[in-house]
Amino acid sequence: MSTALLLLALLGATCYADDVILKPTTTGPVEIALVMIQGAQIPAERYTPLAQALQAAAHFPVWVGIPDFPLNTPEPLVIGGGISRVLQSMQEQGMNKTAKQFFTGHSLGGIMLQDYLVSDPSGAMGQVLMGSFLQRKYRKQTFAIPTMTIGGELDGLCHVTRIMEEFYHRIIHATDRDSANNNFPVVVVHGVSHLQFASGDPPELVKLRDLKPEISEEQAHKNIALLVSAFISTKLGDAAAFQYVSSAVVATDTFMKPLIAAYELEGSYYFKPPCYQDETVSCTLGSPWSERAQQTMGGLPEGSVNDTDVFHPVYQINPVHLPHVLNTTSCSTPGKLCVVNMTTVSQNVYDELDTLIDAGFVATSANEMRVKLKSRQVVYEAGGYKNVDFNKTDGSSICKDINQEAYNWAIQNANFTTLKRFEKYGVAMVMGEDKGPYNVGPVWIWDPLSYSKTKTSFGIDVIEVQSVMMRTPSDYGIKAAAGMHYCKLLSPARAMEWMYVDALREHYGINN
């Protein structure tokens, strides 16, 4: 053997020496082969306690194989070899060749696992993604392998909002709810952090990002194991197990409702893509929150504003998309019967990292909502008011007021336990005065909604949110740009997602 081949052989022996094989703790006619794929930088043996909890929860013999990958990172070039290796090891140690094959993957391991099983689904009866989820790229097709998604409520690396997105598509909008509960259940485990799908000391990235768990590691493993065991049992035809999984999905539904409502108000592009030029049932015409924003911007003392928002890139100039007053009803003079009918234009902007890497690592709500609104002056004039002073109607920070409404909405609608946790440990948002006016289109478009870390006069950490705005009077010299009041808006979904996850990291992270 050459020196190079010898080194490779020794390297292979070193890399794979730490594969974990656990023999069943019980006997039975049907054996299960469960292969667990580690998360990035988490050694294979750190999943042993969870695997043992799963063996204890199961009513059938479970063989567990946890392949050890180079640098503790499952990658496409090595994952297939690791899976084959532990399956072979289990057979060599007495596992029946007819054992039913199931798979679990944690975090990055879940992302790599689903890609591997898509390319080689033979023999797989199901997979469980822990602190992970089916990728968006698989949303438009029927995924061939039954998949359970388990998220941790306090997972600081895989946002629970990304699990919510999966729940929205796989459960809420399933054509057959029972079938979805059986084949693609999505469940959140309360009080569980990212690391509690494993054990031991956190790797550096987990230490920086994860939140504090609110239940013990032993209890977390037990709760997760019961779900995994029940899911496997459903694939073996156990009706009682199906009821257990279904009840967990129903409980998750209650937890998800506020988040889903917030993302629907935003008009999340991850729920349905924006219509832009294609107004079909599979896309979203505009943002309900922008419609509410125009009502606040209008601020009519009497009467009402009826706005229809449409999604378009705000930088598009051929054609250019602008807000308009369409018509009015009973508005010759101000009054309660007056209705100002309008249209506005919005564009949601999302974190570039989330669009590049679908890992739930960063916020999935819009970083900002770019919204083209008509000025308060114009709405007053359409509502029958005369001699309206632009400086009086539009001179204050109205975008700030709208952003405060988004934040208040999130507080009023958040899950009770989540809100109390946030109020005790979270970094609050405060709304700063509007920046501008920047009455040059490109400046308003590309200068982002500002999130600045600062302190109150009492020394308390806060995030100051400041809108970038553009405003012009109705007699502005450029007619096409007259009577506008553009805002960079805080999405109610971002405000709520902040409360659920990111606001906690400063004072409720495992590193603090």
Sequential DSSP letters for 102-169: EEEEETHHHHHHHHHHHH--TTEEEEEEES----GGGTTS--SS-EEEEEEEE-SSS-HHHHHHHHII
In a domain, 39, yes or no: yes
Give the position of tokens 């494993």.
198
pLDDT for the residue numbered 396: 96
Co-location of 259 and 315 in the same domain: no
Co-location of 320 and 350 in the same domain: yes
- Cβ 91 vs Cβ 124: under 8 Å: no
Co-location of 347 and 248 in the same domain: no
CA distance 257 to 246: 17
pLDDT for the residue numbered 278: 65
Co-location of 321 and 430 in the same domain: yes
pLDDT for the residue numbered 12: 39
3-state secondary structure of 398: helix
Structure tokens, 142: 């029927």
Between the alpha carbon of residue 102 and those of residues 23, 177, 187, the distances in Å are: 15, 23, 18
In a domain, 349, yes or no: yes
Co-location of 211 and 309 in the same domain: no
- The helix or strand, by DSSP H or E, that contains position 225, with its residue range, turns out to be helix 217-235
pLDDT for the residue numbered 15: 42
pLDDT for the residue numbered 428: 98
DSSP string, 325-374: EEEEES-SS--TT-EEEEEEEEEEE--HHHHH--SS-S--S-SEEEEE-B
Helices 160-167, 492-500: inter-axial angle, 10-degree rounding: 120
In a domain, 277, yes or no: no
The residue ranges of DSSP E strands in 386-441, in sequence order, are 428-431
**CB-facing half-sphere around the CA of 322: CA atoms within 13 A:** 17
| Amino acid sitting at position 192 | V
pTM for the full predicted model? 0.94
**CB-facing half-sphere around the CA of 407: CA atoms within 13 A:** 18
Between the alpha carbon of residue 410 and those of residues 88, 284, 441, the distances in Å are: 52, 22, 30
In a domain, 406, yes or no: yes
Co-location of 104 and 191 in the same domain: yes
- Cβ 469 vs Cβ 395: under 8 Å: no
- Cβ 190 vs Cβ 227: under 8 Å: no
**CB-facing half-sphere around the CA of 216: CA atoms within 13 A:** 4
- First-residue to last-residue Cα distance in the chain: 52
**Tens-level pLDDT at each residue, the chain (512 residues):** 444 333 333 333 334 568 999 999 999 999 999 999 999 999 999 999 999 999 999 999 999 999 999 999 999 999 999 999 999 999 999 999 999 999 999 999 999 999 999 988 888 999 999 999 999 999 988 899 999 999 999 999 999 999 999 999 999 999 999 999 999 999 999 999 999 999 999 999 999 999 999 999 999 999 999 999 999 999 999 999 999 999 999 999 999 999 999 999 999 999 999 998 665 668 999 999 999 999 999 999 999 999 999 999 999 988 999 999 999 999 999 999 999 999 999 999 999 999 899 999 999 999 999 999 999 999 999 999 999 999 999 999 999 999 999 999 999 999 999 999 999 999 999 999 999 999 887 899 999 999 999 998 888 999 999 999 999 999 999 999 999 999 999 999 999 999 999 999 999 999 87
Co-location of 42 and 118 in the same domain: yes
Short-list 300, 323, 308, CA closest to 484? 323
CA distance 447 to 88: 57
Which of 266, 300, 315 is the last residue before a domain boundary? 266
Short-list 503, 287, 282, 489, CA closest to 404? 489
Structural domain count, the chain: 2
CATH number at residue 235: 3.40.50.1820
- Write out the residue range of the structural domain in which residue 62 sits: 3-266
In a domain, 278, yes or no: no
pLDDT for the residue numbered 121: 84
In a domain, 387, yes or no: yes
In a domain, 146, yes or no: yes
